[in-house]
C-alpha cells in the first residue's frame, strides 16, 4: 500500500489512466500528507450529514502545528475508492471513463481561510481492503492541495464535499477511512477529535463503529438523528463505519 504513495507528486499534474464506467462506491478517506513531516494534528472536527435525498455531506476542519525547525511544504490530500469492473483493454482516450463526478462534487479546500484549487489524480490497483467490495479491482481518486506551514506555527485546513451514489440504502453501511499512511507526527495522533454525525434520511442509524469508541445519541428531533464523539489522543487510523437498519 505504501509504495502507491511514492509517485503521487507526479500524479497531481494530470489524470493519465481511464477505467470502466461500471463501478461501486467503497469509501472516502480522511486527509493525509504524502511524506513524513514534523506536523502534529492539534484538532480535527469532522461533520457527516446524511441528507433526505441520501446525499452525504462531509465537512472537516483541521488544525496542524509544525513542531520542526524548517518550513513544511507538503501535499495534503484525501481520496475516494470505488470498485471497478475489470476490463481486458484500458481506454487511454480523452473520454471521461474514470468516473469523474460520479460519486463526489462541490469539493472545497480552504487553507488558512483562503480558498485553494484542488488537483485530481486517478490510479488503479488490485487489493482486498473492504468487506463490501466485489473483486480486487479498485479505482482511487486523489484530491489534493499544496500547503506550507512555518516552524512553530499552526496551520488551518478546511475541507467539504458532497457524496452521491454511495448506495448505502442497499448496503446498509457507509465507510469513512482513516487508513493508508501515518505521515503526521506520532502515527497520526490527534490531540482533540470531535465528530458529529447527522442523519436526515429515512434509514435510521443502527450503530457507528470506530475503534471501540462510544458515539452518544444526542438527538432532539425524531426526523434528524445526531450522534457525537469527543475524544483525546486518538491515533487516526482504521475505518469508521456507519451501519443502518
* DSSP result, 173-202: EEEEE--S---SHHHHEEEEEEEEEEE-SS
Predicted pLDDT at 217: 97
DSSP-based helix, strand, coil % in the chain, nearest 5: 5, 55, 40
CATH label of the domain that carries residue 50: 2.60.40.3680
Overall number of domains in the chain: 1
Cβ 184 vs Cβ 39: under 8 Å: yes
pLDDT tens digits for 80-127?
999 987 665 655 554 555 677 899 999 999 999 999 999 999 999 888
Query: Residue 182 is part of which domain span?
Result: 2-244
H/E element holding 77?
strand 72-84
Q: pLDDT exceeding 90 applies to what percent of the chain?
A: 75
Q: How far apart are CA 155 and CA 61, in angstroms?
A: 11
- pLDDT tens digits, 11-48: 443 343 333 447 899 999 999 999 999 999 999 999 99
Amino acid at each position: 500500500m505504501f509504495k502507491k504513495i511514492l509517485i503521487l507528486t507526479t500524479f497531481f499534474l494530470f489524470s493519465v489512466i481511464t477505467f470502466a464506467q461500471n463501478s461501486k462506491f467503497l469509501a472516502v478517506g480522511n486527509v493525509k500528507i504524502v511524506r513524513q513531516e514534523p506536523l502534529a494534528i492539534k484538532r480535527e472536527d469532522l461533520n457527516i450529514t446524511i441528507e433526505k435525498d441520501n446525499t452525504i455531506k462531509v465537512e472537516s476542519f483541521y488544525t496542524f502545528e509544525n513542531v520542526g525547525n524548517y518550513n513544511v511544504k507538503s501535499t495534503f490530500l484525501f481520496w475516494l475508492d470505488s470498485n471497478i469492473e475489470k476490463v481486458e483493454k484500458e481506454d487511454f482516450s480523452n473520454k471521461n471513463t474514470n468516473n469523474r463526478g460520479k460519486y463526489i462534487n462541490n469539493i472545497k479546500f480552504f487553507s488558512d481561510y483562503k480558498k485553494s484549487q484542488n488537483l485530481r489524480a486517478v490510479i488503479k490497483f488490485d487489493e482486498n481492503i473492504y468487506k463490501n467490495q466485489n473483486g480486487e479491482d479498485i479505482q482511487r481518486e486523489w484530491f489534493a492541495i499544496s500547503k506550507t506551514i512555518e516552524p512553530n506555527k499552526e496551520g488551518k485546513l478546511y475541507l467539504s464535499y458532497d457524496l452521491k451514489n454511495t448506495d448505502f440504502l442497499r448496503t446498509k453501511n457507509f465507510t469513512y477511512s482513516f487508513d493508508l499512511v501515518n505521515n503526521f507526527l506520532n502515527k497520526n495522533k490527534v490531540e482533540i477529535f470531535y465528530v458529529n454525525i447527522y442523519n436526515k434520511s429515512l434509514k435510521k442509524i443502527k450503530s457507528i463503529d470506530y475503534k471501540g469508541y462510544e458515539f452518544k445519541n444526542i438527538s432532539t428531533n425524531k426526523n434528524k438523528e445526531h450522534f457525537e464523539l469527543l475524544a483525546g489522543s486518538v491515533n487516526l487510523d482504521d475505518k469508521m463505519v456507519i451501519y443502518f437498519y
